[in-house]
Structure 1
Amino acid sequence: MHTPVVGRHQEIARLRAAVLAAQSGAGRFVLVSGPAGIGKSWLADRAAELAAEANMPVARGNAVDDAGMPPLWPWRRAARTVPGLSAALDTVTEPGAAAERRFRMFTEVADALTAAATGPGLLLILEDLHWADPSSLALLGHVAAQTEHAGLLIVATAREPEGDNLLAVQPDWLRLPHAHFLSVPALSEPEVRYWLECHHLPAEYAPRVHARTDGNPLLVRLVIDSDPASSGDPLVEVPGFRRLVLTRLDHLSPEQIDILGTASVLGERIDVDLLVRVYESSRVESPENSSTDHVTAALDAATTAGIVRRFAEGATGFAHALIRDAVYADLAPSRRAALHRAAAVTLAEHRGAGLAGLIATHWRQASACAESSSCLYWSRVAARSARAAAAYAEAIRFGEWAIDAAGSAAQERTELLIDLARDEFAAGRIADSLAHCVRASDLAEQADRPDLLAEAGLVVHGVTTPSVMTQLDALCGRALQRLDPAGHADLIARVLAQRALSAADRGAGAEARRLSEQAMRAAEGSTDPDVALDVIHARHLSLATTEYLDERTVLAARAIEIAVDAEQPLAQLWGYVWTADAALQRGDLPAFDNALDHIELLADRRKLPLARWHLLRLRATRAALVGELDAAIEFDAAAHELAIGIGDYSLAGLHHAFRGMHAVIVGHVDRDAMNEAVAALAFAPKIPIAQLFSPMMRALAGDLDQARALFEPFRSLPDTLEVGPRWSGTVYSVGLVAELLDDADAADRVYRVLAGREHNYSADGTGALICVGSLARVRADNARVAGHLDAAVDLYHLGLTMDTAIGAHPFIALGHLGLARTHLRRGTRPSARVLVPSAERDTDLSAARAAAVRAAAGFRRLRMVHRLRQADDLLAEITAAARTADPLTAREREVHELVAAGATNREIAGRLVLSERTVETHVRHILAKLGVTNRTEIARRAADRPRSG
């Protein structure tokens, strides 16, 4: 029946404005929400009409209330009318890790829609998002964020209250400046009265109709359409909505009702051909004439009764999801199960694996969660399909169904648990994944399958939480005890590599090197590139310090070679990242830049977001190294934005660490930024290099007491920390905090453990977050604070030579600043305040001034204003020291030297052509200024003065 425009003028006006905005190139995202029956689809249809008036193309898709709905179903429905969208959605099947493939696909979809929206624009309608899968909702958020300046209008509909998936993403949508939220209200009583009057019904019904329907347009329409003239009070005759719907079936035959029941099992939209097949296969007796005729007649009758309708895009379906739900709920349980079974069989025969999720859903409904070989088979197929599409939430659900259907067979349940654990790990559900790995390992032992036991221990990786690493080590240890070297060499190599990575992560460097070496030997005969790359990765990480630089360089080249042959772009990426890091440690910037060129090629050709992130991160590192500090910040910001887009918050967290190290270089930290960074890194793994960040920032900000308290547990760390991954960075951090706090003892520990490493640069082999130039300068800073001043001078000169060779301008200036401080301290230390002119002291003060001047010039060129202030302050201090270093006048100094040489007053008078009385006066002044009592003490102290700094 005709539905008048009642109470929706404001919503239509806002949709019209959105159409006009999109047509002018300003994208809009409109979410139409409200309870079932409120008129969301009706408003979506009005939006389509408005777009048609503006000659704007329309694409539509919808989610369905069916657990078997394939991932991205609304988008794939919409792709039927958008050029290039299907190809973009298929990007997710290309190589790469899950997060990267998903991000690449999201970007391709946004680009395809932007292209389709050129000219008159494009209206994309996505309905019933309360049933949408997480991937569809995440894609919508990405597209909406990326198309603000495209002619794309997105109109989405969703019920309130929304599903869990929708609730999770809505906060992100709220932050979009071009997003508009239309929460559709119920009709008021006057609006219900107007509707009744439009259908020539008594206006006095309005209060009672409004009260019983709460102004829900669908319920109002059904009440109005229930022929109130046949009863004095239709609301008394129809006490509830379900009964109201089912009374519409009273005009249909039992066969037609059964056909509608069959249709309700298949979903809200009706595929007539599928309905015919399922209905025919579910019949005990074949009908006298064609099932198609029976189905067509039933749909015609249901359309007349207002139960079924034709949609704008030509599809047939239930007039509303609530109607379909009522019909489905009225089915007898046995009939419902039989129809689900018939649907599963029919879909498997005629549609195949492409609808595996839907088939699995029907089998699960048919078997009522009991053991079922068919449900098991199709759930596994559906899980594989979802996994290939990086739709891990769906893969997990189907994996759980498969386990339910598998029964008690130990081997099969083990395999299913491992698959489920892999999907959970990919989805970030680490605790669930590990729990299922433990269950799988127990079953693998029962089934005497050491290979499956090993697979269970290999699922979770790269997690540094101590409790997780302990369980993983236990799983891998159990596997190694049972694996046969003759038949399981590859698995042994992978398990050893896993244990080596775990050892490296917890700081057991020697154990990591031992295990990784065993893994390399175990993999020597392997032809599997994955095995080779796994053991190379473990070996490389275990050798992430300068003394193993040559071996790591060989490993990086080998990884690249294997990855190219095996067409594994991610492994190829790691090879080039390792190559870049090794080049930094050697100070070979041309080799570093060459590695970056290869990473850029990977990012461009393979469209790998992770490669793009590493490229930006390494460009930020290089820019900071050579003094392009503004560019370094820009590269880091771009990397941070990309990490957020990928959804990898471990990558995003490195942004704060980079900004902290940038603050260390420039000598200043913004307090707001510091507090934000410290708060963000509080969620980082509890490893020393992360925990040292807080005292480092506090000390840099001048909060010295708080910094000392936070630093106390780490002061002796250099003496106990094993050489391994993060060793260099951790030791450097200890030394840096020690310098900021003037902690001589902690600085001395760092100075000693860095002995022999001063000819390399500061990258640590695990992927340089930032390079602070030569290790010689780093060691010199700690030597100066520890009081090893002569050694510090030599180290600063070595560091200046190294940093100058690679153009590390900030660190050249910092080296001059440190050298100036060292010469000043050496020239003014108590042992240098001697009674005779000190050439060494004068040389030190002169050298201090020269170095400070060069530091100031360097900081000025780099616009490092806070460091420039430090250099200027140091110059003033050097000037003051020079003035107070010698209290004697020039003539008094001449007299002092002759007294020290043992000359008498008469001899001095004759030598200097002075009167003896004048000499006597000078001697008296000298004794007073130097605080000594007689001439003999002058001579003695002059003879005792040191001859070197």
Structure 2
Amino acid sequence: MSNTRLDQLLAAAAVVGERVRLDVLQQVVAMPPSDFLAAVDTLVRAGALIVPPDSGEAWFASESVRRDAEAHLPLGGRADLHRRTAEALDPTADAAEIMRHWSAAVATTADPLDRARLQLQLAVAAVRAGDLSAAHAAVQAAVVTARRSRATELLAEAAVTLEPIGQSEWDGDIHQWCTEALAAPGLAPRAAVHVLARQTQAAVYLARWPEAVATSSDALAQAEALDDADLLVEALTARQLATSGPDDVDELAAAAARMIDLGTSTGRAEVELRGRLWRIDALWYCGDLAAIGAETGRLASCADRVDGPHGRWHVLVTQASLALARAEFEEAEALLGDAFDRFRRIGHPAVHGAEVMFRVLRGHHLGHTEDLLGPALWRFGTDSRWDLFAHLCRAFVLVDAGRLDEAAAHYHRCGGPGSWQAPRAGELLLNAVAARVAAALGAVDDVRVVRARLEPHRGRYVVGGGGGTNFLGPVELALGVCAGALGEWDAAASDLHEAIALCRSIGAPGFAVEAACLLTEVYELSGESAQARTTAAEALPLAKALGMTPWLARLERPDDPLSPREREVARLVAAGLSNRGIAAALVISERTAQNHVQHILGKLGFVNRAQVAAWAAQRSTQHRE
């Protein structure tokens, strides 16, 4: 064998690393296996390399030999060897090492366009290695080169290299790069579909919903015209993000079937995984917990064949959401704990929001922890998607805890319901949470607004989908809350009866207890005390078995017809405050204070404020005793 070939092999080994896997080195030098082994034997006999028996590895006999071999390499040859090494390594096992080699290839490449393309490879490797900052910086550098060179193809490639993650600067940059690429001259049709799909994803994460619907429609139409499986995957993924609401269940199920077929026919587990997640989202809207359980098994099979932590994350989140819906609280907490630990290791920004929402929903039935009542957990940085949900869900938690003044302050920061822009996948969850908060605070005008939004979705279940499901029972449960807040007792009782039946039929006992408790209070408020006691007695054993302490406390006192907010108002009436004084004390409008007083009079069957004051004083004495 020639000295040139031996020198090439030695130089490649020097670039690959201090310890060299022989299978990787053989791919880097692209030698036939027999020639490669003969060359390695020659270098071992010459004392340059050491290869222990059965190790599959080699290393240099001395550091000086390695440095000398690397020093004779020209920059171009060094960059090429780093590139080949990065391509030869296993991306699932050697993420950090792959990132190191792409970075070295970038540093030793002189041509700006070639360097930019290597930077995009570096960005992909950095994401796999969990270094999101390095990934973002690498794409930014490539975009700068593409702009200077007016390289449309490179700009389009850069625009689709990263995926949105819920961080506003990151997602905003992706959106801007896509906008520039689509406006650049000479963009090829295939590239246009990829860029449209990625722009849709960024628009969704930036809460630009109308834009997302339009761009996803364009992407899907163009992909279907090109009849390309890879483009269809991209376009369907974008469309799913833009149209995952309760009105889109049939379209979502159809898209899921197409994705599953595309994944299985092409052997791409990650594509099949997406389709199965979409199918599960559609099943959540239908409340089919049994089918979700069955589909989760297929989802887990896909996840085992998908590179990286994301597949297992989705399995754990789905299993935990299902356990929470079934009131298997300890199981849900264990599963979510595993999922959160996995994603915290790579610093993924989605973890915090997912964890807070899980704790909100768990605490709704079991009681909220003190740290959830404080401000620290509600800081979501620059993720714009959480601005509205942070205030509304924090108000929801404070209402559950009976801290209505604080809840009102956060609720007022949300603005009126007419100003809310929710993702389609979260519109039912947003309005169901708002229904409970507005009802507790006596914001009857807002109750009417969210009730009108929920009414068309009878028979559906309240979820926040898109792959990270938050479940809040049937729509009828939220509608029952609305009807009760408006004093429409017959409608409230009807909706809550239906909610109980639906929860029992699908196996969601925690929400059955919640609906029964609310029905008990409706009966009491409407003067049907005997029926209230009967309903409470029927629900109490299940509430105890599930450990639903807050709801257990409400079921054990069905003789108090007032809501927490109304009890507060009654106390202020007893203290002699006028409607204006009550409004000032509770930071509500005078009209809302007047509405509260009228509701109290009606519920208690009184005709004047003096009777309310006497009733409040009597109850205060009873509680002290």
- TM category (shorter chain) comes to 0.7 to 0.9
TM-score by length of 2: 0.74
**Structure 2 counterpart of 1:580:** 280
Q: Distance in 1 between matches of 2:301 and 2:318?
A: 14
Q: Does 1:530 align with 2:256?
A: no
One-letter code aligned to 1:820: T
Aligned-partner SS, 1:771: strand
Q: Does 1:669 align with 2:368?
A: yes
**Structure 1 counterpart of 2:80:** 377
5 Å-filtered alignment, 1:713-792, equals 713-717=413-417, 719-722=419-422, 724-792=424-492
Q: Does the 8 Å CA contact 1:814/1:855 hold for their aligned counterparts?
A: no
Q: Distance in 2 between matches of 1:472 and 1:765?
A: 23
Q: Distance in 1 between matches of 2:125 and 2:435?
A: 42
Aligned-partner SS, 1:726: helix
Q: Kindly tell me: are residues 389 and 618 of structure 1, through their superposed partners in 2, closer, same or farther at Cα, counting changes over 3 Å?
A: closer
Q: Distance in 2 between matches of 1:538 and 1:718?
A: 27
**Structure 2 counterpart of 1:441:** 143
One-letter code aligned to 2:314: H
Report % sequence identity.
Answer: 22
Tell me by how many angstroms 1:750 deviates: 2.2
**Structure 2 counterpart of 1:679:** 377
Tell me by how many angstroms 1:786 deviates: 4.5
- 1:454 aligns with one of 156, 163, 187: 156
Tell me by how many angstroms 1:644 deviates: 5.0
Q: Distance in 2 between matches of 1:566 and 1:314?
A: 38
**Structure 2 counterpart of 1:866:** 550
Q: Kindly tell me: are residues 315 and 715 of structure 1, through their superposed partners in 2, closer, same or farther at Cα, counting changes over 3 Å?
A: closer
**Structure 2 counterpart of 1:912:** none
Q: Kindly tell me: are residues 638 and 446 of structure 1, through their superposed partners in 2, closer, same or farther at Cα, counting changes over 3 Å?
A: closer
Q: Distance in 2 between matches of 1:605 and 1:413?
A: 33
Q: Does the 8 Å CA contact 2:320/2:336 hold for their aligned counterparts?
A: yes
Aligned-partner SS, 1:773: strand
Q: Distance in 1 between matches of 2:413 and 2:429?
A: 17
**Structure 2 counterpart of 1:416:** 118
One-letter code aligned to 1:860: K
- 2:240 aligns with one of 527, 536, 540: 540
5 Å-filtered alignment, 1:491-506, equals 491-506=191-206
Tell me by how many angstroms 1:380 deviates: 2.1
Q: Does the 8 Å CA contact 1:695/1:737 hold for their aligned counterparts?
A: yes
- Cα deviation digits, residues 186-213 of structure 1 (max 9, x gap): xxxxxxxxxxxxxxxxxxxxxxxxxxxx
Q: Distance in 1 between matches of 2:389 and 2:606?
A: 50
Tell me by how many angstroms 1:67 deviates: 8.8
Q: Does 1:556 align with 2:256?
A: yes
Tell me by how many angstroms 1:473 deviates: 2.0
Q: Does 1:399 align with 2:102?
A: yes
Q: Distance in 1 between matches of 2:184 and 2:503?
A: 53
Q: Does 1:695 align with 2:395?
A: yes
5 Å-filtered alignment, 1:80-159, equals none
Q: Distance in 2 between matches of 1:315 and 1:513?
A: 56
Tell me by how many angstroms 1:715 deviates: 4.5
Q: Distance in 2 between matches of 1:610 and 1:443?
A: 31
Tell me by how many angstroms 1:563 deviates: 0.8
**Structure 2 counterpart of 1:892:** none
TM-score by length of 1: 0.50
- Cα deviation digits, residues 227-273 of structure 1 (max 9, x gap): xxxxxxxxxxxxxxxxxxxxxxxxxxxxxxxxxxxxxxxxxxxx996
Aligned-partner SS, 2:476: helix
Aligned-partner SS, 1:763: strand
Q: Distance in 1 between matches of 2:58 and 2:465?
A: 61
**Structure 1 counterpart of 2:615:** none
**Structure 2 counterpart of 1:902:** none
5 Å-filtered alignment, 1:819-858, equals 819-827=519-527, 844-858=528-542
Tell me by how many angstroms 1:393 deviates: 4.0
Q: Does the 8 Å CA contact 1:417/1:437 hold for their aligned counterparts?
A: yes
Q: Does the 8 Å CA contact 1:602/1:608 hold for their aligned counterparts?
A: no
Tell me by how many angstroms 1:416 deviates: 2.2
- 1:466 aligns with one of 165, 168, 180: 168
Q: Kindly tell me: are residues 869 and 563 of structure 1, through their superposed partners in 2, closer, same or farther at Cα, counting changes over 3 Å?
A: same
Specify every segment of 5 or more residues in structure 1 that has no aligned partner in the other structure, as ranges.
Answer: 1-65, 78-85, 88-270, 278-291, 297-312, 319-323, 329-335, 345-361, 828-843, 879-928, 933-949
Q: Distance in 2 between matches of 1:398 and 1:768?
A: 35
Tell me by how many angstroms 1:447 deviates: 4.3
Q: Does the 8 Å CA contact 1:609/1:646 hold for their aligned counterparts?
A: no
Aligned-partner SS, 2:400: helix
Tell me by how many angstroms 1:480 deviates: 1.3
Tell me by how many angstroms 1:573 deviates: 1.6
Q: Does the 8 Å CA contact 2:354/2:468 hold for their aligned counterparts?
A: no
Q: Kindly tell me: are residues 632 and 394 of structure 1, through their superposed partners in 2, closer, same or farther at Cα, counting changes over 3 Å?
A: closer
Structure in which a larger fraction of residues adopt helix: 2
Tell me by how many angstroms 1:614 deviates: 2.9
**Structure 1 counterpart of 2:410:** 710
Q: Distance in 1 between matches of 2:551 and 2:296?
A: 31
Q: Distance in 2 between matches of 1:524 and 1:425?
A: 30
How many equivalent residue pairs?
A: 531
- Cα deviation digits, residues 421-441 of structure 1 (max 9, x gap): 333344444454344434423
Q: Does the 8 Å CA contact 2:529/2:559 hold for their aligned counterparts?
A: no
Q: Kindly tell me: are residues 403 and 593 of structure 1, through their superposed partners in 2, closer, same or farther at Cα, counting changes over 3 Å?
A: closer
Q: Distance in 2 between matches of 1:623 and 1:775?
A: 20
Q: Distance in 1 between matches of 2:561 and 2:118?
A: 73
One-letter code aligned to 1:343: A
Q: Distance in 2 between matches of 1:411 and 1:586?
A: 51
Tell me by how many angstroms 1:562 deviates: 0.5
**Structure 2 counterpart of 1:837:** none
One-letter code aligned to 2:550: H
Tell me by how many angstroms 1:876 deviates: 5.9
Specify every segment of 5 or more residues in structure 2 that has no aligned partner in the other structure, as ranges.
Answer: 1-12, 25-39, 50-56, 563-604, 609-625
Q: Kindly tell me: are residues 429 and 624 of structure 1, through their superposed partners in 2, closer, same or farther at Cα, counting changes over 3 Å?
A: closer
Q: Kindly tell me: are residues 499 and 809 of structure 1, through their superposed partners in 2, closer, same or farther at Cα, counting changes over 3 Å?
A: same
Tell me by how many angstroms 1:714 deviates: 1.2
Tell me by how many angstroms 1:608 deviates: 7.3
Q: Does 1:815 align with 2:515?
A: yes
5 Å-filtered alignment, 1:266-281, equals 274=43
Tell me by how many angstroms 1:547 deviates: 0.4
Q: Distance in 2 between matches of 1:629 and 1:876?
A: 29
Aligned-partner SS, 1:873: coil
Q: Higher RCO, 1 or 2 (CA under 8 Å, sep at least 6)?
A: 2
One-letter code aligned to 1:854: E
Tell me by how many angstroms 1:274 deviates: 4.3
**Structure 2 counterpart of 1:570:** 270
**Structure 2 counterpart of 1:145:** none
Q: Kindly tell me: are residues 682 and 499 of structure 1, through their superposed partners in 2, closer, same or farther at Cα, counting changes over 3 Å?
A: closer
Q: Does the 8 Å CA contact 1:417/1:440 hold for their aligned counterparts?
A: yes
One-letter code aligned to 1:800: I
Q: Does the 8 Å CA contact 1:714/1:734 hold for their aligned counterparts?
A: no
- Structure number with greater Rg is 1
Q: Kindly tell me: are residues 528 and 447 of structure 1, through their superposed partners in 2, closer, same or farther at Cα, counting changes over 3 Å?
A: farther
Aligned-partner SS, 2:473: coil
- Cα deviation digits, residues 612-656 of structure 1 (max 9, x gap): 443333232223323333333343344445545677563476234
Q: Kindly tell me: are residues 603 and 472 of structure 1, through their superposed partners in 2, closer, same or farther at Cα, counting changes over 3 Å?
A: closer
TM-align CA RMSD: 3.9
**Structure 2 counterpart of 1:615:** 315
Tell me by how many angstroms 1:275 deviates: 8.6
Aligned-partner SS, 2:179: helix
Tell me by how many angstroms 1:743 deviates: 4.1
Tell me by how many angstroms 1:609 deviates: 5.2
Tell me by how many angstroms 1:575 deviates: 1.3
- Cα deviation digits, residues 16-58 of structure 1 (max 9, x gap): xxxxxxxxxxxxxxxxxxxxxxxxxxxxxxxxxxxxxxxxxxx
Q: Distance in 2 between matches of 1:756 and 1:502?
A: 29
